[in-house]
Amino acid sequence: MPSSEGYHYLGESAMEAMIKAVADKTGIDPAMVAKVVPSVLEFIKDKLPDSLAGQLDGLLDGDSGGGDIADTLKKGLGGLLGG
């Protein structure tokens, strides 16, 4: 399995990968992170333009076309996770 540095876990959803990445970076229990991440994502989506929020939803739902938005969000939000 690739390391958490790549934020990609083979066979897992984007949400599962995000939970693991946050847990790895912060040391917070994955079960606690899983409770918080949906609220954080809603907060972020509320701040994004509708078109980007829709792309974020697509990425989290497993839409394979979300690669560009995934890269953009990783770069733009990396500082929030200490990256």
Q: Is 56 exposed, middle or buried (0-12, 13-18, 19+ CB in 10 A)?
A: buried
Per-residue pLDDT of the chain (83 residues; tens, 9 = 90+): 334 444 454 567 788 888 989 999 999 999 999 999 889 888 988 888 888 888 887 777 765 554 555 565 555 565 555 55
Residue appearing with tokens 């949400």: 15
Instruction: Name residues whose C-beta falls within 8 Å of residue 55's C-beta, 6 or more positions apart in sequence.
Output: 66, 69
> Is the whole-model pTM more than 0.95?
no
